[in-house]
Amino acid sequence: MFMGKMNRISFEEISMIRDLDSRYFGCLDLADPKNLEIKAIVQKTITTIQDDIAYYITKNIIVANDGSAGVLKNNSTGNTGNEDNKLHDIETKIISFFEEETLARDQFTNALCKLGHLHLLLGEYSEALSAYQKYLRFNQNNYWTNHEFIYGIGIAYFKLRCFKWAIKSFQELLYLNPNFTCANDVHLRLGFMLKHCGEYHIALKHLQLALLYTNPSTYSELHVKFQIAHLYEVQNKHKAAKKAYEFLLNEKNISLKLKADVYRQLGWMYHCVECLGEKKERESSALIFLQKSIDADPKSGQSLYLLGRCYAGINKVHDAFLAYRNSVEKSEGNADTWCSIGVLYQQQNQPTDALQAYICAVQLDKDHKEAWTNLGILYESCGQLRDAYACYLNATKQVSCQKTTIHRKEETIPMNKDAIGLTKGLSQRIKFLEIQLGQAPLPSITSKRRQLCSIEEAWNLPISLEMNSRQQQTAQMLPRQGH
């Protein structure tokens, strides 16, 4: 800590948070009611440090340089044309000042690093990253001696899904200190990210190394083994993955949460992987495992969604709608669920309901290729070629980033594409529609009435609540099918 204004925090409060840094991440849960007192002190300390940093810069550096104070005044009066250059000039003055004032530099940068740690422990990852980056800006020559900083900025990048930078930070930390206190967590997160990036061999190495450490970890040994099993699955080593998952289910101390995840993965594998048996037997096993997953974790919207996919695959439409409805109740923000609901409505020849479901999907995830593709197919089947053309264009915009997985915290589930019909050859379809639209006559008042509202009109409809209501009504009206 630094500067006289810190006297707003008592000695006892300072003692409570003095040793807090990134190593406590995942161990100290500030959301726990038992930790309300320390959480309040952390928040108070953050406010105080921020005030002190602002005061310190203004009082001791900017005013000390002739004319520098005017830079801030200009920014506050709306003269933002050269704002970036002015802020850069301020930082340059600060760095220049620190070259002569070593003690001041150490106090200032330590305060920035502490600010990053405290934001991190509160789960405020963007704020933590901002503070860490400022620390790095002013401490480029010897930041590498501060291993807690490197770990903290790596966690912030990881939580913000900036995996390239998180991997770089964690690899640097392991090079500098292979026996870092949280090295097992570092190896686990590296394994997860490298798996996500397709570097399977290196990912497996890090996951296996994570099992060798005896240090306390924010993840259990069984969770690491689950990640290894999932790594086999994404490598299409399905028999090895199945064996690893079944091994986990035989563990006596497996948590209900992890058991639900294992059952979900096994259920989806039986649904998708042909080498695990005959289709009828596999579908039966898939339904059993997914139901066990839901029994272990009734709040799992993903397991309910996958159960709906399985029911839809064997044409049990009523059961599929029920599963999807329950999934939306558990996790409304799942674009894959809404896309699948749209598919069911389209198969039941309910184009208006299908349109609204697809709109829900693409509003939740504007890069959802399958939903845009299905929406284009729907419009084309209704003769609305201009709307279909717009949807196909949106489907091709983010092909490289298309979502073929569901993300659940730090796990991924391989998914089959949901588009019906034309999921390939979108470019050829777009070219065909361009020719058709180029030859089409201009619309007139005598033109045939559109069956569906346009994409622009549909986008602006408040449909989420309406769709949820329609789902419940449809599930009640559809006749029950035999099991």
pLDDT digits (tens, 9 = 90+) for 50-108: 988 887 777 655 555 554 444 444 444 445 455 566 556 656 555 555 555 555 678 88
pTM to 2 decimals? Answer: 0.77
Q: CB burial class (10 A; 0-12, 13-18, 19+) of residue 236? A: exposed
Cα angle vertex 409, ends 153, 325, to 5°?
150
Look at the chain and count its residues. Answer: 483
**153/159 Cα distance (integer angstroms):** 10
Domains and CATH numbers, the chain: 8-62+102-170 (1.25.40.10), 334-397+422-435+452-464 (1.25.40.10)
Residue 302 contacts residue 264 (beta carbons within 8 Å): yes
The DSSP 8-state label assigned to residue 76 in this structure reads H
What is d(CA 112, CA 54) in angstroms, rounded to the nearest whole number? 11
Q: Which residues contact 98 (CB under 8 A, 6 or more apart)?
A: 104, 105, 108, 138
pLDDT at 73: 45
**pLDDT on residue 331:** 74
pLDDT tens profile 14-41? 888 889 999 999 999 999 999 999 999 9
* CA 30 centroid distance within chain: 21
**Mean of pLDDT over the chain:** 82
Q: What is the pLDDT of residues 320-352, one digit of tens each?
A: 999 999 998 887 668 899 999 999 999 999 999
208-251 per-position pLDDT tens digit: 999 999 888 999 999 999 999 999 999 999 999 999 999 999 99
What pLDDT, on the 0 to 100 scale, is given for residue 12? 83
Q: What's residue 373's pLDDT?
A: 92
Point out the least confidently predicted range of 117-131, 213-227, 367-381, 455-469: 455-469
pLDDT for position 400: 41
State the CB neighbour count (10 A cutoff) for residue 362. 26
Where residue 443 falls among pLDDT bands split at 50, 70, 90? low
pLDDT of the residue at 149: 98
Confidence at residue 417, expressed as pLDDT on a 0 to 100 scale = 43
- Burial of 35 from C-beta contacts in 10 A (0-12 / 13-18 / 19+): middle
Tell me if 141 sits within 8 A of 118, measured CB to CB: no
Rounded Cα gap, residues 337 and 358, in angstroms: 10
Per the model's pLDDT, the better-predicted residue between 1 and 311 turns out to be 311
The answer to whether 133 touches 115, Cβ cutoff 8 Å, is no
Average pLDDT on 295-312 reads 93
Tokens for 399, please give them.
């092909």
